[in-house]
Amino acid sequence: MAKIKALREKLRAGLEHPVCTLAIVVLIIVNAMVLGLETYPSVMRLFGPQLMALDQALLSVFVIELALRLLAQGPRFLRDPWNLFDTIVVAVALLPASAAFSVLRALRVLRVLRLISVFPSLRRVIGGIVAALPGIGSIAAILFIFYYVSAVMATKLFGATYPHWFGSLEASLFSLFQIMTLEGWADMTRELAQTHSLAIPFMVVFIVVATFTVLNLFISVMLDAMQRVNASPTMPNTSLEQVNIETLMAETAALRQQVTAIAAKLNTRRDRRFFQNSRRTKGTRQFSSLRR
């Protein structure tokens, strides 16, 4: 058991070594370039078999790397969400090349996203995005309510005059979404203002609230989440730190058990010596009394 644990520690240290990490990053970048070249028919006609062989070789390296990480980390491998992410991304590429899985095999390019799991700084950004999801959901709900109310008002105000933009609720929603992206909103507003005096105030209020205010709210929520994630003392930077902490805890527990066992042996020996000394003292006293 000790030998297996030592081998796992060596394998884990090798996989976490900067040289090994850099090699994986280079292979991921090369794989991304190969997947990009496969989208060019002219390149595939000339180098199709070579690119496919290189893609399979890179996939084999990724599978071997995941298998080694599983052996090195053991059950802890499944506790790390980034390990699960890498496994899913690599497993997609292992699906058979049939029509039923053609869409999923197009997701092979997701292997490029493994770069996120390699760099701790990128992982912290993703952690900030995940931490900001509740706040983003609240802002999105407010935006949807305002967006829907504005669409109903626009349909009532401008639908009869400009049915191609605001003739129905669906058309109003699409037109307001276009305005929210600041695409052609000035020309549309000028045309509406020729027949509707409320067009300019309506559009200005909608753009200020839906575009600038909500955008700033999104940014503030993201910044707050990033600060909380970076300031969190419980957030591990790397999976190696998790492993080291768990290893230290296990070694501490083993040392505690050894100390307890040694203390028990010492107490047993001390009691035995005390009993022997007490018997000798008692015998000496009895002998002295007989002589008297």
Range of the domain at 136: 123-231
Task: Kindly tell me if the per-residue pLDDT of 275 is higher than 60.
Answer: no
Contact (Cβ atoms closer than 8 angstroms) between residue 209 and residue 202: no
Average pLDDT over residues 210-236: 80
Domain boundary among 231, 257, 281: 231
Could you report the per-residue pLDDT of 202-219, keeping only the tens digit for each? 999 999 999 899 889 989
Asked whether the CA dihedral 160, 163, 168, 173 is positive or negative, the reply is negative
Rounded Cα–Cα distance for residues 226 and 129 (Å) = 8
Supply the CATH number for residue 54's domain.
1.20.120.350
| H-only helix segments in 94-209 | 102-105, 114-118, 120-158, 163-166, 169-180, 185-193, 199-207
Residue 195 CA: distances (Å) to CA of 20, 137, 199, 206, 245: 68, 38, 9, 19, 71
Provide the number of structural domains found in the chain. Answer: 3
Do 71 and 158 lie in one domain? The reply is: no
Do 205 and 263 lie in one domain? The reply is: no
Could you report the per-residue pLDDT of 86-145, keeping only the tens digit for each? 888 888 877 766 555 566 667 777 778 888 878 888 888 888 888 899 999 999 999 999
Supply the CATH number for residue 195's domain.
1.10.287.70
| Nearest alpha-carbon partner for 68 in 139, 116, 17 | 17
| Nearest alpha-carbon partner for 244 in 47, 26, 15, 9 | 9
CA 211 to chain centre: 29
Task: Kindly tell me if the per-residue pLDDT of 191 is higher than 70.
Answer: yes
Average pLDDT, the chain: 82
Do 100 and 14 lie in one domain? The reply is: yes
CB atoms inside a 10 Å sphere around CB 199: 21
Rounded Cα–Cα distance for residues 111 and 91 (Å) = 10
Domain boundary among 214, 231, 248: 231
